[in-house]
C-alpha cells in the first residue's frame, strides 16, 4: 500500500528536476520586467520622451507573449509525435540561450536601433520557449506519476513556476541594493547572465530524465497520432479545449490580478507604502506556492471538481476580504495578502483538470493550444479591463474574480469527483 500512497524516488526526481527547470525558465522570462526601466534607458535614444520609452520597452516585453501560442503549438506538435522529453529539454534550451545573449547585447550607444531589434528577437525566442515549457512540463510530470498523484505533480510544478517569479523579484532587490550605482554601466546584465547559465545547467540536468511511460507505451503500440495532432484535436476534442481554456482564464485572472496588479492597487487605494506592498507580495508568492501544492494534492484525494469549486470560492473570498479591510486596517496587510495568496493556489488544481481533459495521443497539443490561446487572450485582456473597472469602483477587481469564481464553481460541479476525467 505504501507504494500506492506515496511518491517513489523516481517520481521525486522527476518532480524536483522539472520544478527546478520550470523555476529557472520562468525566472528567465520574467526578469526582463524587473529591469524594464534600465533597459529602456539603454536600448532607446536618450532624448526620447519617457512615456514613449516606457511604451516601447513594455512593447518588447509583450513580444514574448505574442510568440507563446505559435512556439507552444509547434513544440506540442512534435511532442505528440517525437516525444515529451525532447521538447521538454528543447524548451529550456531555447529560453536559456536568448537570456544569456540579452546579457551580452550591445546597447543603443553601440548599435543604435539594431540593439532594440535584437532584443525583440531574443524576447520572441523566450516567448516561444515558455509557450512550450509550461504545458509540456505539466504533461511530462503527469505522465510520469501514477494517476492518483497527477494533482500533486501538477501542483508541485506550478509551485516551481511561481518560484521563478519570486527568484526574479529577489534578484531585482539584490541588484538594486548592492549595485545601484553600477546598474546602467554593467550590473543590469548580471540577472540575464546568471539566468542563462543556470538555465543551461538545467538543460544538462534534464538529460537524467526519461521519456514518459505513457508516451513510450503509445510508441510501443504504434498508437501515436496518424495525422496532424491539431487537426485531430479540433475535430474530436472541442469540449476538452473549452474546459482547458476556461480554467486557464481563471488561472490568468488569479495571477494577473492578485499577484501582479495588487501591489500597485493597494498603494493607491489603501495608502500602503511601496516597500510594504512588495514585501507583502513576496510573502503572498510563498503562500501561492504552498496553496498550489495543497490544492493539487487535495484534488487527488477529493476529486478535481470539488477542489476546483471550493478553491474558486476561496480565491474570491480571501481577495475580497483583503481589499475590503485594508483601507481601514493597513496593519493587517501581511496576513490578508498571505491568505489571498493561498487562494491563488488554485493554480495547482487547474493544470490537473486541463491535463485530464485530453487523451494521451493529443494531450500535449491539446493543453498547449488551449493554455496558450487562452493566456494570450485573457492575459492581455485582464489588466486592461480591470484598470478600466477600477476607475468605476475600487472593488471592481474583486467583482472580476467573483465572475471567474462562478465559472470555476460551475465547471467544478460539472466535473464532479472524477480524478482523471
Pick from 168, 166, 159: which is nearest to 288 by CA?
A: 159
Overall number of domains in the chain = 2
Q: Look at residues 209, 244, 276 and tell me which one is the last residue of a structural domain.
A: 209
Q: DSSP secondary structure string, 306-337? A: HHHHHHHHHHHHHHHHHHHHTTT-GGGHHHHH
Q: What is the CATH number of the domain that holds 366?
A: 1.20.1250.20
pLDDT at 399: 95
All three cell numbers of 255? 495571477
Same-domain pairing of 190 and 324: no
pLDDT at site 144 = 79
Domain membership of residue 320 (yes or no) is yes
pLDDT of residue 420: 43
Whether residues 246 and 202 share a domain: the answer is: no
Q: What is the pLDDT of residue 421?
A: 38
The distance between the two most distant Cα atoms of the chain, rounded to a whole number of Å, is 69
**77, 113, 149: which is closest to 362 by C-alpha?**
77
Is 202 in the same domain as 244?
no
Q: 311 and 372 share a domain?
A: yes
Q: Is residue 130 part of a domain?
A: yes
Same domain? 132 vs 242: no
Looking up cell 485530464, which residue turns up? 356
Task: Answer yes or no: do 262 and 298 share one domain.
Answer: yes
Co-location of 202 and 290 in the same domain: no
Smallest Cα–Cα separation from 302: which of 419, 153, 421, 155?
419
pLDDT of residue 192: 94
In a domain, residue 48? The reply is yes
Q: Are residues 201 and 236 in the same domain?
A: no
Which residues constitute the domain of residue 34?
9-209
Q: Indicate if 188 and 296 belong to the same structural domain.
A: no
Same domain (yes/no): 150, 94: yes
Asked whether residue 3 is domain-assigned, the answer is no
Query: Is residue 78 situated within a structural domain?
Result: yes
Do 135 and 13 lie in a common domain? yes
pLDDT at 134: 81
290 neighbors 338 (Cβ within 8 angstroms)? no
Task: Provide the total of helices (H) and of strands (E) in the chain, helices listed first.
Answer: 20, 0
Q: Give which of 261, 24, 65 is closest to 165, Cα–Cα.
A: 24
Domain-terminating residue out of 178, 209, 240: 209
Give mean pLDDT in consecutive 10-residue pieces for the chain, a chain of 421 residues.
58 78 79 81 86 74 76 77 75 89 94 92 87 82 85 91 86 85 92 91 78 63 57 82 95 89 84 84 93 96 95 97 93 96 96 91 86 82 80 89 97 76 38
Report if residue 227 sits inside a domain. no
Cβ atoms of 369 and 73 closer than 8 Å: yes
Residue 132, in any domain of the structure: yes
Same domain for 337 and 189, yes or no, is no
CB neighbours of residue 64 within 10 Å:
25
Indicate the residue among 177, 209, 241 that finishes a domain: 209
Set of cell numbers at residue 178: 548592492
Residue 147 domain flag = yes
Amino acid at each position: 500500500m505504501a507504494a500506492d500512497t506515496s511518491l517513489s524516488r523516481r517520481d521525486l526526481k522527476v518532480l524536483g528536476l522539472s520544478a527546478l527547470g520550470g523555476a529557472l525558465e520562468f525566472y528567465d522570462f520574467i526578469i526582463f520586467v524587473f529591469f524594464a526601466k534600465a533597459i529602456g534607458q539603454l536600448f532607446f535614444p536618450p532624448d526620447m520622451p519617457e512615456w514613449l520609452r516606457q511604451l516601447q520597452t513594455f512593447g518588447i516585453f509583450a513580444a514574448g507573449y505574442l510568440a507563446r501560442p505559435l512556439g507552444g503549438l509547434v513544440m506540442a506538435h512534435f511532442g505528440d509525435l517525437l516525444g515529451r522529453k525532447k521538447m521538454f529539454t528543447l524548451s529550456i534550451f531555447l529560453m536559456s540561450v536568448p537570456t544569456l545573449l540579452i546579457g551580452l547585447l550591445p546597447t543603443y550607444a553601440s548599435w543604435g536601433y539594431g540593439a532594440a531589434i535584437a532584443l525583440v528577437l531574443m524576447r520572441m525566442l523566450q516567448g516561444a520557449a515558455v509557450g512550450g515549457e509550461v504545458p509540456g512540463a505539466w504533461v511530462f510530470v503527469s505522465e510520469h506519476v501514477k494517476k492518483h498523484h497527477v494533482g500533486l505533480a501538477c501542483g508541485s510544478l506550478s509551485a516551481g513556476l511561481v518560484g521563478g517569479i519570486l527568484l526574479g523579484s529577489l534578484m531585482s532587490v539584490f541588484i538594486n541594493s548592492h549595485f545601484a550605482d553600477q546598474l546602467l554601466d554593467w550590473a543590469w546584465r548580471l540577472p540575464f547572465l546568471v539566468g542563462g547559465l543556470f538555465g543551461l545547467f538545467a538543460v544538462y540536468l534534464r538529460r537524467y530524465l526519461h521519456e514518459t511511460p505513457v508516451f513510450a507505451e503509445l510508441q510501443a503500440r504504434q498508437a501515436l497520432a496518424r495525422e496532424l495532432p491539431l487537426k485531430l484535436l479540433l475535430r474530436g476534442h472541442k469540449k476538452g479545449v473549452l474546459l482547458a481554456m476556461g480554467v486557464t482564464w481563471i488561472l490568468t485572472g488569479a495571477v494577473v490580478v492578485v499577484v501582479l496588479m495588487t501591489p500597485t492597487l493597494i498603494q493607491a487605494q489603501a495608502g500602503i507604502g511601496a516597500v510594504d506592498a512588495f514585501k507583502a507580495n513576496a510573502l503572498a508568492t510563498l503562500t501561492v506556492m504552498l496553496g498550489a501544492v495543497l490544492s493539487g494534492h487535495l484534488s487527488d484525494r477529493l476529486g478535481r471538481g470539488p477542489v476546483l469549486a471550493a478553491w474558486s470560492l476561496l480565491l474570491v473570498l480571501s481577495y475580497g476580504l483583503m481589499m475590503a479591510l485594508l483601507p481601514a486596517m493597513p496593519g493587517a496587510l501581511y496576513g490578508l495578502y498571505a491568505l489571498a495568496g493561498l487562494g491563488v493556489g488554485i493554480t495547482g488544481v487547474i493544470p490537473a483538470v486541463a491535463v485530464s481533459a485530453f487523451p494521451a495521443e493529443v494531450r500535449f497539443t491539446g493543453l498547449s493550444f488551449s493554455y496558450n490561446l487562452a493566456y494570450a487572450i485573457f492575459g492581455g485582456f485582464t489588466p486592461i479591463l480591470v484598470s478600466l473597472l477600477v476607475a468605476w469602483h475600487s472593488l471592481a477587481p474583486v467583482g472580476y474574480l467573483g465572475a471567474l469564481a462562478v465559472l470555476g464553481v460551475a465547471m467544478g460541479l460539472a466535473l464532479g469527483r472524477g480524478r482523471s476525467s
